[in-house]
Structure formats: structure tokens, C-alpha cells
Amino acid sequence: MNEVTVIGAGVAGLAVTRALLDRGAQVRLVDRNGPPGAHGCSWWAGGMLAPFCEGESAEEPVVRLGQRSADWWDKHTGLVQRHGSLVVSAARDHSDLKRFARRTDHFREVSGPEITALEPDLGTRFSRGLFFDTEAHLSPRAALAALFESVTKDGAQFEVAEVALEAQDGLVVDCRGYAARDATPELRGVKGEMLVLRCPDVDLTRPVRLLHPRIPLYVVPRGDGIFMLGATMIESSASDHVTARSLLELLSAAYALNPAFGEAEVIEVGVDLRPAFPDNLPRIRRDGPDGRVIRANGLFRHGYLLAPALGEMVADVIFENATPEMMDEAIA
């Protein structure tokens, strides 16, 4: 096996690199912007490893493949927090909670007092919820850094460079996310906006989702009084600004969760594009001269949940000449 070049050091590229190293490949990991950072959309993620909750709107493969992600991240980073996830709604939106329950599984219904017991800082504001006790979360930036360190320590050669994919020797895996749109016309961007707050007055143990017919919100605790609030989903390929309306909606929802968020310090406002195919599922595609370019893309809002499976499947393509389920040929 010659050297494999992986382009893009976001969550997809790192997971692919990890999988290739584990099968004994020599990997060259290239990113024109340097190690994982604010230039990649993985940086802005929520980091919820919540396959069952995602089943509310995602297709079956997301739920099935996503179930492996918590163990994978634990093995490779040791940063996984296994405290489940909690889903609540205001009394007027209980019909949304009922629908969420019908569309998902692996949860138990929790009453007001049980919600208070799980998350004392939600007080008595919620009388009904769903608790997905097997789900987990992690801090995406710490996880990216840990994974980057693990792959470079295990021999991946990292380069900061702009490279022409077709000009490389040997196999190339294109993990550039939305930047690969030039080569992947049906890829679209789905804009997401998020906020990071510092609010020492609130203590949460696990991600909390607040259902709302128009403005669903999740809050992910990062520890030390830091919270990530996410995330909007807008059909737009412009990631140059966050709108006042999105901030208003996110903050209003957080305020409804706990009015103490009104006093929080806004420490970060983020925006980027999730790369997505029309069915919002990832794809692996052979492309380029002699099929030497393998495009792995379209993780949409499931980067941390599905990157481990994506990485394994890319390795299956390269080492087993297999046609895993994310491949175009398997789907067509």
C-alpha cells in the first residue's frame, strides 16, 4: 500500500486518518488552514453523541451507525461524558414532546420532579420530558485536538498546504466538507449559528434540548460554567455573518430554559456551513483519474456522530475494495 493523502483535518479527515492508520497505512494529512481550528465547521459543533434523539428527523443509518460513536470517541480521546440527554418542552408545546417520543426510542418519560432531580437548575419549569440515558456528549474542540494529537503521534504526517487533488501520487481522500463543492455539485451548505455563554449561575450535567415548533434549541454544558447554544438550520451557503434574529431566537430559548442565562456573558458567536447531500446522509464516492480520489463528505449535522463510521467505510473501500453502504454504488 502506497501512502494515502487525506485532505482536510476536520472531524471527517481526522476520523478517516485514524481508520487508515489503524489498518497500517502511511497517511499524509493535509489542510491548507493548519491544525483543527475555527476555519472548519467541526469547530462549531455541539458535540452531542445522541443517535436516538437525532432519529426524530434523521434517517435510519444515522441512528444505527451513530450508536458506535460514543465508544469510538472514548477509545481515541477519552473525553466522552456519558450522562444521557434530556428533552423538554414548555407546557404549551407538549404536543411536540409527544411527537418526539413517537419518532424516537431508548428513552424514558420523566416527570417534573424527575427532571428537577436530573438537572436541579431547571427548577420546576418543566413538567414533562424524555430522558435518553445511554447518550453522551463531548467537547468538540478538545476532541479534535486529542484526535489530531493521536494521529500525528501514530505516524500521520501533517502538512499545511494547498494541494491539487489530482496531482498527488497514490490515493487521495477528499474530506474538505463544503469546500469540496466545486467537485461535488449536489453538495449544499446548511448554515448553522451558535453561541458560547459563560454562566456560572447555571449548572447542567448533560445536553438539554428544548423543543419548540419554530425554534428548537439545545444547550450543551462544556464544564466550568461554559455552555454552547445551538443551532440554527438555514438553507443558505453564506457563512459570513450571524443575524440578529438568530441570536434573538437562540437567547430567548435559553432564557426560557433558565432565566439565569439572561445574565450570562456571551463569549463567542459562531457560524459555518454544514456540508449536506439532498438526503442529509454522508456519501463516499470514487472520482478523479483512475478512481484515485475518494470523496468522503456530507456529514451534515452529524459530524461527531457519523465520522467514525465514515472513516471505517473509507478504510473498507481502500483495503477491502468493498462497497460500503455510504458509497454511491450501494445507494444507486
Partner 1 sequence: MRAFYGTHLSNGFMLGTAQSPSPAILADAFQRSGASVATVSLRRESGQDRAGQDFWQMIQSLGVHVLPNTAGCHTVKEAVTTAHMAREVFDTKWIKLEVIGEEDTLQPDVFGLVEAARILTEDGFQVFPYTTEDLVVADRLLHAGCEVLMPWGAPIGSGKGLNNVFGLRAMRAHFPDVPLVIDAGLGLPSQAAAAMEMGFDAVLLNTAVAKAGDPAAMALAFAQAVAAGTLAAEADPMEPRDMAAPSTPVIGKAFLS
Residue numbers at the binding site for partner 1 (CB under 8 A): 57-59, 99, 102-103, 188-189, 191, 213-214, 234-238, 241, 243, 276-281
Nearer residue to partner 1 within complex by CB, 77 or 280: 280
Smaller CB separation from partner 1, 202 or 211: 211
Nearer residue to partner 1 within complex by CB, 56 or 174: 56
Amino acid at 216: P
Least distance CB 234 / partner 1 (angstroms): 7
Sorted by sequence, the CB contacts under 8 Å of residue 249 that are 6+ apart come out as 214, 215, 217, 232
Q: Which C-beta is closer to partner 1: that of 224 or that of 240?
A: 240
DSSP, res 156? P
Residue 198 Cβ vs partner 1, minimum distance, rounded to whole Å = 28
Longest dimension (CA), the chain: 62
Q: CA-CA distance, 252 to 41, in Å (whole number)?
A: 24
| Closest to partner 1 by CB, 23 or 241 | 241
Sequence-separated (6 or more) residues with CB below 8 Å from residue 88: 97, 115, 122, 126, 128, 129, 130, 208, 209, 210, 211, 257
Q: Smallest distance from the beta carbon of 191 to partner 1, in angstroms? A: 8
Quote the least distance from Cβ 252 to partner 1, whole Å.
11
CA-based end-to-end distance of the chain: 29
Q: What residues contact 53, with CB distance under 8 A and at least 6 apart?
A: 85, 87, 104, 132, 135, 209
Rg (the chain; Cα; Å): 20
Nearest to 173 by CA among 326, 314, 327: 314
- For the bound state, the minimum distance from the C-beta of residue 147 to partner 1, rounded and expressed in Å, comes to 28
326 within 8 A of 310, measured Cβ to Cβ: yes
Q: Shortest gap between Cβ of 92 and partner 1 (angstroms)? A: 9
Cβ(106)–Cβ(51) below 8 Å: no
* Grid cell for residue 229: 447554544
CA distances from 83 to 120, 131, 132, 195, 305 (A): 14, 10, 9, 22, 16
Shortest approach of partner 1 to residue 280 CB, angstroms?
4
Q: Using the minimum distance from each CB to partner 1, give the nearer residue, 176 or 191.
A: 191
Q: Which is nearer to partner 1, 150 or 280 (CB)?
A: 280
Residue among 145 and 234 whose Cβ is closer to partner 1: 234
Compute the least distance from the CB of residue 103 to partner 1, in Å: 6
